[in-house]
Amino acid sequence: MSYRTLASLCLLLATAGLLPGQALLAPPFGRQWGESPTGLLQWADGQSLDVVVEMPGKQRGLQVFTFQREGGGLPGHTAESLEARYFQGRLYEITIFYNYPGLKAETVREEFFKMKEVLTTRHGDFRLNGKSDQTNDDFLTLREAYHFEPSPGVFLMMVYTDVTDLLRKQTEARFSLIYHNGNVAPKATGVLPGKE
């Protein structure tokens, strides 16, 4: 057997168990695309986290688990909470929420761009996904999103949001990281509701 054939066979065997997109962008917290909720539930139990489970009747097969600690914060992280989405018992999306009550929006925005810099170093360049501002009932909502998509349907999106109460001149800001694998996600319309 030639060296080239042996190397090709080793590469094939090393990647055989991976779902599409698995090697390019793994979900955070040591999870694997397509796995069952068991691993995250055991982690949450070991960390004494509160877990909320949603199983929308109109979206059969969808399970949404939200993990957070009473009083806020995930152990060892600056994130406030984590949401994991499963379709037919298989992980297809994890969102990490960063909320900073009491901090100025400018400071939260700086944290967002620091995180973007770290993730760009780790994964590669992010592309602007969109910017928007909307005024509704004396509230101004600003959104800015960037994404990294290493393969079709597999992406990491960063979303920054700040909401200003125009009457009271107060602003609160937050951001989230969305790890998504469309190769595991449901294909039905309406199963992937908006994030922010």
| pLDDT score at 129 | 93
Q: Is residue 30 part of a domain?
A: yes
| pLDDT score at 155 | 95
Q: Is residue 93 part of a domain?
A: yes
Q: Is residue 12 part of a domain?
A: no
Q: Is residue 195 part of a domain?
A: no
| pLDDT score at 37 | 97
Q: Domain range spanning residue 90?
A: 21-181
| pLDDT score at 116 | 97
Q: Is residue 101 part of a domain?
A: yes
In order, the DSSP letters of 56-103 are -TTSTTEEEEEEE-TTS--TTSS-SEEEEEEETTEEEEEEEEEE-TTS
Structural domain count, the chain:
1
Distance between CA atoms of 41 and 49, rounded to whole angstroms? 9
Which CATH number is 166's domain given? 3.40.1000
Question: Is the whole-model pTM more than 0.75?
Answer: yes
Q: Is residue 98 part of a domain?
A: yes
Query: What string of pLDDT tens digits covers the 196 residues of the chain?
Result: 443 333 333 333 333 344 443 447 999 988 999 999 999 999 999 999 999 999 999 998 999 999 998 877 888 888 999 999 999 999 999 999 999 888 899 999 999 999 999 999 999 999 999 999 999 999 999 999 999 999 999 999 999 999 999 999 999 999 999 999 999 887 754 444 444 3
Q: Is residue 16 part of a domain?
A: no
Q: Is residue 193 part of a domain?
A: no
| pLDDT score at 89 | 95
| pLDDT score at 18 | 41
Distance between CA atoms of 145 and 157, rounded to whole angstroms? 7
